[in-house]
Amino acid sequence: MNSSFNKFLTFKTMLTALIIIVFSTNFLLIERVDALSDSKQLVLDAWTLVNEGFYDPEKFDEINWKKIRQKTLQKQIETSEEAYFAIEDMLRPLEDPYTRILRPKDYELLKSSNFGSEINGVGLQLGEDDSNKVKVVSTLGGSPAEEAGIVSGDFIEKVDGISSEELGLANTASKLRGESGTKVLVEISTESGEIREIDLERRSVDLRPVRTKRLRDDSHTIGYLRITQFSESVPKKVEEALQELKEKEVEGLILDLRNNSGGLVSSGIAVADSLLSEKPIVETKNRNGIKDAITSQKETSYDGPMVTLVNKGTASASEILAGSLQDNGRSILMGDQTYGKGLIQSLKSLGENSGVAITVASYLTPKGNNIQGQGITPEKLLDLPDASEYGSAEDKWVRNAELFLDSFLEKEEVSIQTPEISNEEI
């Protein structure tokens, strides 16, 4: 009896001690979480957003994502800037340059470029190549970078004497931005290996995302529509431009997507919807492996013959549009191989007016082509130098597209006239 009673007392004592340990541990953990500084909370919030949204969760297991969070929170992080650097270090093992921290200035600038009509800077859209070198995707029309002769495919070697390799993509882009009137020294290398230094003065760049005009020759009237990027206002502006061109009785359309590095994917899809009738636009694949096909509505804003101009600076949302037009046989693509960005980002807000861009999905063209790192090959390649001003009278790419449409329209006229001759003979 005493033996059994003693065993019971021993068990009760151990159980009580265990409960005390568990509750003490939980209490300590709660205290530790509650005790997180604002700066460390910023890091934890960024980790959570990426953890919930990143398109490739298998990567988390590969890099031990939870351990990275633990190690990062153990660092001494006392200021917002230290938090941003810690987040950059934390995201680096994902090996995705598009999943990145956006400091307040960069976050505000990205939002304004998506929703506004102008930005301050030098007018460069940047990406990374396979070797993680910072590469020019495109230059904005009328920007300091374009005027200095920087083109798609050039590499940013240094910004104000600091190596872009040391800075990384996000910090390189950040250092290029700034107040109008200030200057930045940029070292550029070309694909052929030539290196040059350029002193660029930052200024306000008018994005003018949609530009249009009518091209006339002796026989036909062609509409020219240039989209420089896909911001929130673009679908409506495109609708208005197409309506205006239809009222001018254009017989064909040249859609110019050269140096359009993308923007809001939803805007690119909306423009595709206005040019396609009940056709697949794009197929997206999220973190669960689910492929969602997006199909256009029946009504279109323009259903006449088209040529679409693309080049190395045509990327992301522009490639979604170009790929949908090509795969559905809606438009001939003319120009050069596109950039090859087949990943979609979502922009999330963090504290301190900062944000984080997260790659949330990949996409395929209607025929199932994955263009990430590959790009889209036009049916007709143009071995011609780009014009200094797109759409001008000296733009040989536009002239080639115009001649192609003229030829197509003439053949169409012959095919319409032929049955009338046959009926007369009968």
Residue 113: the pLDDT is 65
Is 31 buried (19+), middle (13-18) or exposed (0-12) by CB count in 10 A?
A: exposed
Residue 26: the pLDDT is 40
CB 281 within 8 A of CB 275: no
Tens of pLDDT, residue by residue over 258-280, are 988 888 999 999 999 999 999 99
**How far is CA 337 from each of CA 117, 153, 327, 401, rounded to the nearest angstrom?**
28, 12, 15, 16
Residue 120: the pLDDT is 60
Instruction: Walk along the chain (426 residues) and give the pLDDT tens digit of each residue.
Output: 444 445 444 444 444 444 433 343 343 333 344 467 889 999 999 999 999 999 999 999 999 999 999 999 999 999 999 999 999 999 999 999 889 999 988 888 777 666 544 456 888 888 777 677 888 887 877 789 988 989 888 999 999 999 998 888 778 888 888 888 899 999 999 888 899 999 999 987 766 789 999 998 778 899 999 998 898 899 999 999 999 999 999 999 999 999 888 889 999 999 999 999 999 999 998 898 888 889 999 999 999 999 999 998 899 999 999 999 999 999 999 999 999 999 999 999 997 789 999 999 999 999 999 999 899 999 999 998 877 678 888 899 999 999 999 999 988 766 655 444 333 332
Does 303 participate in catalysis according to the annotation?
Answer: no
Tens of pLDDT, residue by residue over 99-150, are 999 998 888 877 766 654 445 688 888 877 767 788 888 787 778 998 898 9
Q: How far is the C-alpha of 269 from the C-alpha of 255, rounded, in Å? A: 15
Distance, C-alpha 225 to centroid of its chain: 21
At 279, is the secondary structure helix, strand, or coil? coil
- Active-site choice (40, 237, 312, 341): 341
- Active-site choice (261, 316, 324, 354): 316
- Active-site choice (327, 336, 386, 395): 327
CB 191 within 8 A of CB 76: no
Does 206 participate in catalysis according to the annotation?
Answer: no
Residue 414: the pLDDT is 66
| Residue 131, C-beta contacts closer than 8 angstroms, at least 6 positions apart | none
Which of 382, 211, 388, 404 has the alpha carbon at shortest distance from 307?
404
Chain position carrying tokens 């960024």? 46
Residue 123: the pLDDT is 85
Phi (first) and psi of residue 345, to 5 degrees: -110, 150
Is 315 buried (19+), middle (13-18) or exposed (0-12) by CB count in 10 A?
A: buried
CB 52 within 8 A of CB 286: no
Does 316 participate in catalysis according to the annotation?
Answer: yes
